[in-house]
Structure 1
Amino acid sequence: MKEPDGNNPLTLRDIARQAGVSLATVDRVLHNRPGVRPDTVRRVKEAIERNSFQPHVAAAELARGRARRFAFVMPSGPNLFMQQIQSYLGEMSGWLSARRLAVEMVATDVFDASVLASSLEALAGEYDGVALVALDHPSVRAAINDLVDAGAKVVTLVSDVPSSRRHYYVGIDNIAAGRTAGALVGRLVGPRSGKVAIVAGSQGLRDHAERIFGFNQVMASEFPGLNVLPVLEGRDEDGRSEQLMSRLFGKHPDIVGLYNVGAGTQGVAKALIDSDREKQVVFVGHDVTVLTRKLLLQGVMDAAISQNPGHEARAAVRVLLALARGEPILSEQEKIRIDIVMRDNLP
C-alpha cells in the first residue's frame, strides 16, 4: 500500500484505495452527499485522518482544467550552486505532478540587464509564476513589474530586486553573509597585516553587492590593519576569475586574505595555487559543491558560507504555489539559513 512521502504525497485515489471504496464514494463523503453507508463514511474519514490528508487542496487541484506552469529563470553557464538548485527541482517531479504543476527552466545571461529583461518579457502571459535570479537594474525591474501586471506571481531567488513589485524573496540575508565572511577572514588572518582581495561575479547582482557591503563593514570596523583592495568582477566565470586573480597576486605579494563572493571558484583557486600562496592566504567563499568540498579538504579553502540549495528550490516552488492559490506563506518555513562550513564539519 502506498504511503505518503515528500515527493509522492497521497491523492484522492490513494485514500479511496486505503478505504476500499471508489473515487466517487470519496467525493460524496468529502461533500457530505447522501447515499453512503455510515461504515463507509467512517472508513474514508479514518483514512483521511490517518494520513493528515488535506482533501480541499487535493480536490481543488483535480478540479482545475489545466496544470499551473512555473518558470525558473536561471544563469546560463557552469555555476555549480545553480545547477544544484535545478537538480533538486528535478527531484520534486512527483510532488509537482500531484499538484498539477509544471516547472520549466529558462537559462539566460543574468549578468546582462538587457538580455535578462528580454528573457523575462518573453514570459509574460505564458506562466502562472516565475522565479528568477535577478540583476538589480531598471530594465529588469520594469520587466518584473510587467510580469506582475500580466498576472504572474514573481519570486526572486538568491538575488533580490526589492524595488520591483515582486511578491517574495527566497534567499539568505546577504549582508549578514558578507559580514560573516569578513569576520572569518579577519579572525583567521590573525595579527598579520596586509591586503585582502575580493572577487565577485558582478556588483550589479544585489546578493553580491550586499555581501561586499557587509564584508567591508566588518573589515573597516574590526580589522583596520587589513587593507581591502578594489573589487574584481569575474562574472562567475572560471577563466576570467583565474586571469584577474593571477594578475592581482603578481601585483600584490602581501595579500593575506581572499573573499570570493560568488562562483568562478575553480579559477580563483587555480590562481591561488599557481601563485604558491594557498598556505599563506586565508580563502573564504560561498556554497558547498563538489569543488568547494575538495578545496576545503585540501586546505586551499578555509571556509564556505553555505545556503541549502534544496531548501531554496522547495521554498521557491511552495511560495509560488501559495501565491497562486491565495494561501498564506509560512515565512518561518521558507527562511533560508546561513551556515559556516569548514573542513572539520563538512556535511
Structure 2
Amino acid sequence: FMYGLNAEIRQAALRSPAERTDIRTIEVPAFDPAALVSVLEGLSQEKPCGIALVATDAPDVRAAVDRLVRERFPIVTLVSDLTGSLRHHYAGVDNIAAGRTAARLLGRFLGRRKGEIAVLAGSMLVRDHRERLEGFSAVMVEEFPDLAILPVLEGRDDPEVAHMLVADALSRNAGIIGVYSLGAGNRGLIRALKEKAVDRILTVIAHELTAHTRAALIDNTIDAILNQDAGHEVRSAIRVLKAKADGLAVIEAQERIRLDIFLKDNLP
C-alpha cells in the first residue's frame, strides 16, 4: 500500500507545475517516532507552505506537529491520524468503522462456527491500526461472542515478520478459524496461509487492494479486502494544504475518503 501511495505522490508531483505547487517526498523509517520528529524539526527551518505526514501516534510526534501548527505551518495527517494534535485535517478513512466492518464481514461469513480469530497488525504505535482493532473488537464482543480474539500479532508491516508470526500461530493453534489482517505485510500473510492452512477452512479479511491481495482474492486465500483509495487521499491532502496556503475554505464533503469493500466478484 505504501508503495502505491508513493506512486500516487509521484503522479501528483508530475502535475504540480500546472497547479502552482512543488511536491517533495521524504521517507522516514516505519514506526520510528524519533526519526519522524527529526524530519519535522528540519522542515520547520525550510519553511514549506504545508506538510502532509503519515503519523506515528506518539507524544513526541504530537508535540512536534503542535509546534509547527503554532508556527503557522498547515499540517495534514495522511492515512494515519495523530490523537489530540492541532493538525488541520486528516486525509484517510474512518478506521474504527473499517474495523467494525471487518468484524461484521468475518462474523457473518463464519456463521455459527465457534473458534478463535488471529489478528495481524503492523504496530500499535499508529493510530489507524489501533482504531481498526478497537472497532473490530467492539463488534466481535457485542455480536459474535463465540469468536475469541487472540492476542494481536505485530508484524511491523514486514512480510517476513508477518509470515513468521502467522505461520507460528497457525501451527500452534488448531482452533483458529479466522484471520483479520489490519495492516500491511500481506505477502507474508498469504504465504503463511498457503503453507499452513491447506487442511482447514479459514475466513480471512485484509486491508488494501494490491497485486498480491488481488491474486489472493481470486484464488480464495482471502475472502474480502477493505480498501482506501490512496490516490484520493494524496489529492485530498494536496488540495487541503493548497487551500490553507491560499487562505481558501476547504470543502469537507469533497475530502471525505470512502472505504471500499472488494470480493473476488467485484474487483475493478
TM-score by length of 2: 0.96
Number of residue-to-residue matches in the alignment: 267
Distance 1:252 1:260 in 2: 17
- 3-state SS of paired residue (2:22): strand
Q: Specify the alignment match of 1:103 in structure 2.
A: 23
Q: 1:238 aligns with which of 159, 162, 175?
A: 159
Aligned-partner Cα distance in 2 for 1:277–1:140: 43
User: Structure 1 residue runs of 4+, over 6 Å off?
Assistant: none
CA distance in 2, matches of 1:108, 1:278: 41
SS of equivalent residue, structure 1 residue 197 = strand
Cα-to-partner distance string for 1:241-279 (whole Å, 9 max, x where unaligned):
111111111111110010001100010111111103486
Partner of 1:341: 262
**Match among 217, 221, 227 for residue 296 of structure 1:** 217
Is 1:308 aligned with 2:229? yes
Higher relative contact order (CA 8 A, sep 6+): 2
Q: Any conservation in 2 of the 1:125–1:147 contact (CA below 8 Å)?
A: no
- Does the 8 Å contact 1:148/1:166 carry over to 2? yes
After the TM superposition, which of the residue ranges 206-215 and 245-254 deviates more from structure 2?
245-254
Q: Counterparts of 1:18-97 in structure 2 under 5 Å?
A: 81-93=1-13, 95-97=15-17
Counterpart of 2:57?
136
Whether the aligned pair in 2 keeps the contact of 1:124 and 1:146 (CA below 8 Å) is: no
CA distance in 2, matches of 1:160, 1:99: 26
Residue of structure 1 equivalent to 2:170: 249
2:83/2:127 contact within 8 Å kept: no
Q: Verify: 1:280 aligned to 2:201, yes or no.
A: yes
Distance 1:211 1:169, change over 3 A: same
Deviations 1:169-204 (A, max 9, x none): 111000000000000111111111110000100111
Alignment of 1:161-172 (within 5 A): 161-172=82-93
Asked if structure 1 preserves the Cα contact closer than 8 Å seen for 2:203 and 2:222, the reply is yes
Q: Does the 8 Å contact 1:194/1:227 carry over to 2?
A: yes
**In structure 2, C-alpha distance between the alignment counterparts of 1:265 and 1:99, rounded to whole Å:** 36
1:193-220 per-position Cα deviation (integer Å, ceiling 9, x unaligned): 1100001001110000000000001100
Q: 1:87 to 1:279 in 2, by over 3 A?
A: farther
2:66 is aligned to: 145
* Residue aligned with 2:23, SS: strand
CA distance in 1, matches of 2:109, 2:140: 13
Give me the CA root mean square deviation: 1.3
Q: Structure 1 vs Structure 2: percent identity of aligned residues?
A: 43
The 1:342/1:259 distance shift into structure 2, 3 A limit, reads: same
> SS where residue 101 of structure 1 aligns?
coil
- 1:115 aligned onto 2:35: yes
Counterpart amino acid of residue 17 in structure 2: S
* Cα contact 1:193–1:226 (8 A) shared by 2: yes
Distance change >3 Å, CA 310–CA 176, structure 1 → 2: same
Aligned partner of residue 245 in structure 1, secondary structure = helix
Residue identity matched to 1:90: R
Aligned with 2:26: secondary structure? strand
Letter in 2 for 1:283: V
